[in-house]
């Protein structure tokens, strides 16, 4: 009985991940986070340019 319940939980969790497409969303958020860090580390941009670039990307990140 315990094995059946554990199997149900694991399969349910995997199905939920796949149904909600969470791995793809997590990958996309990670890429956007890396892009934001690249903007912050760019020494050629002024603070105002960095702020504007981050504000443009903020809506997509959240």
- Once rounded to an integer, what is the mean pLDDT over residues 26-51? 92
Task: Convert 18-38 to b/e letters by CB count within 10 Å (16 or more is b).
Answer: eeeeeeeeeeeeeeeeeebee
pLDDT of the residue at 59: 80
Give CA–CA dist 1/23, Å, rounded: 31
pLDDT of the residue at 41: 94
pLDDT of the residue at 57: 86
- Once rounded to an integer, what is the mean pLDDT over residues 18-44? 92
- Write down the pTM of the prediction: 0.65
Give CA–CA dist 37/17, Å, rounded: 27
pLDDT of the residue at 17: 93
* ∠ Cα 6 24 56 (to 5°): 140
């Amino acid at each position: 009985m315990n094995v059946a319940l554990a199997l149900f939980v694991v399969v349910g969790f995997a199905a939920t991940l796949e149904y909600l497409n969470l791995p793809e969303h997590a990958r996309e958020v990670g890429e956007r986070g890396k892009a934001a860090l690249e903007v912050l580390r760019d020494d050629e941009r002024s603070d105002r340019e960095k702020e504007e670039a981050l504000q443009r990307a903020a809506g997509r990140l959240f």
